[in-house]
Amino acid sequence: MPIDFNANFIPNPNSNRTQHRFNFPSFLSAKKETDTFVKTVKTDNIAVDKVYDGIMISESSFGRIKKTGELAKLYTITNANGASVKLSSFGATVTAIEIPDKNGKIIDVTQGYNNVTPYETAPIGHAGGTIGPCANKISNGEFTLNGESYKLETNKDNGKSHSHGGSEGFDVKNWKSKILPDGVEFTYFKKDMESGYPGNVEAKVTYKFDNNNNLHIKYYAKSDKDTLINMTNHTYFNLDGADNTQENSVYDHIVKLPNSSKYTENNEISIPTGKIVGIEGTPFDFKTEKRIGDVIDSEFEQIKIGSGFDQNYCVDNYDGKTLIDVAEVKSPKTGVKLTVSTNLPGFQFYTANHLGKSAQPVGKSGSKYEKRSAFCIEPQIFPNAINTKEFEEKGILKKNQEYNREIIYSFENYDN
């Protein structure tokens, strides 16, 4: 789900040494911190799944963060087939996913920017970022935990709600980073009461991209106090290619949500009322495939509230452990199919209804991302669960316990 646009929002297996090959981007060659290395993963004799054999991981500069002066790093994981994922330390953000279409052409299917500055100074609704401490909305920015009341920044709905961790959420922090034998790990240490949330929290996000074009995202958190944790990813997808930035350019995408029979009803500012509603007979019924453009302009009241699709779906047969396929989205144009799997209880299906603000900067392809030019599938604990008695899982992380959840974005070609 969106947040209002704010333009002022300020190993070689036979060696113990990692082999590095250094390259220097020409425009930054005088700065030592911009050194780039490429690491080839070989899985023989080390405990790494063979599906990662031969991947390359590179590190480079993504630019200087204005607020802190820190350098943002960019990591590129390229698999043995030439597909790749780009990740920024700023926000532990997915900046690009480049995969083959049905003709073998590599296309980027995610919205984003070429350097850190637009992510910091002119964000487009958290594009690609790691959302936290608590994804989605909290009514009035207030919650009570262990009898103590907490007040958060109300950065959404004209001061009526707190959204996506506020203006100082996880997606605008520069995370520490570490290259793993098969991926990249980002770590952020949130201080007690930072952004209004209790507890000193160690948060980790691990990205792995395998040779079957599956992007594995694992979330971990541990706190020294009871707190709220509800982390997700906010990538904007256009499976026709990210250069399709024009308004309504996802209308031809075909969606199936095979394991959701219910959704959470919203009030007038898209906060759940507590009522869980069946999809049957509504525009939210994607048990069978539907073209987005055929249903997005329905006169259905919940569609009107979201100005399109912006709804939390409930995952059938959820148990907190099993990875369940929650979404399948296809592009007839490119033959690319995205499958989303998770062990979280819900997910926000959002059709980028609030992009296209006048102050919004241009994206990677040189044009601005317009309204409904992308979609998001954001697995999550239900919005405002801490304040909603009807929702069993509240998003509470108990002191010294561990939060472990996962999302997999899988890409393949299909016959159409």
Give one word for 63, left, alpha or beta, with left for phi > 0 and alpha for psi -120 to 50.
left
| Span 371-392, average pLDDT | 97
* Domains of the chain, residue spans: 26-413
| pLDDT for 12 | 35
| Cα-Cα end-to-end distance for the chain | 30
Q: pLDDT per residue over 329-341, tens digit each?
A: 999 999 999 999 9
Position 28 scores a pLDDT of: 34
Distance CA 4, CA 188 (A): 25
- pLDDT tens digits for range 114-147: 999 999 987 667 889 999 999 999 999 999 999 9
* Tens of pLDDT, residues 401-416: 999 999 999 999 998 7
Q: Judge contact between 196 and 153, C-beta under 8 A.
A: yes
Q: pLDDT digits over 204-254, tens only? A: 999 999 999 999 999 999 999 999 999 999 999 999 999 999 999 999 999
CA 143 from centroid of its chain's CA atoms: 24
Smallest Cα–Cα separation from 77: which of 211, 209, 269?
A: 209
Query: Rg of the chain's alpha carbons, rounded to an integer?
Result: 20
The residue that leads in pLDDT, 36 or 114, is 114
> Can you tell me whether residue 77 is helix, strand or coil?
strand
Asked if residue 347 lies in contact with residue 315, where contact means CB atoms within 8 angstroms, the answer is yes
Q: Is 301 a catalytic residue?
A: no
248 or 356, which is more confident: 248
From 59, 194, 370, 378, the catalytic residue: 378
**CA–CA distance, 184 with 367 (Å, rounded to integer):** 30
DSSP-assigned letter for residue 87 = E
Instruction: Give the mean model confidence (pLDDT) for residues 268-290.
Output: 97
336 φ, ψ (degrees, to nearest 5): -90, 135
pLDDT at 363: 92
Q: Given 162, 164, 234, 354, which residue is catalytic?
A: 234
Examine the pLDDT at 90 and tell me if it is beyond 60: yes
Longest dimension (CA), the chain: 64
Domain 26-413 class in CATH: mainly beta
Q: With a threshold of 0.85, does the pTM exceed it?
A: yes
Q: What's the average model confidence in pLDDT over 307-334?
A: 97
Answer whether residue 4 shows pLDDT above 70. no
Instruction: Pull the structure tokens for residue 43.
Output: 């899985």
Residue 378 annotated to the active site: yes
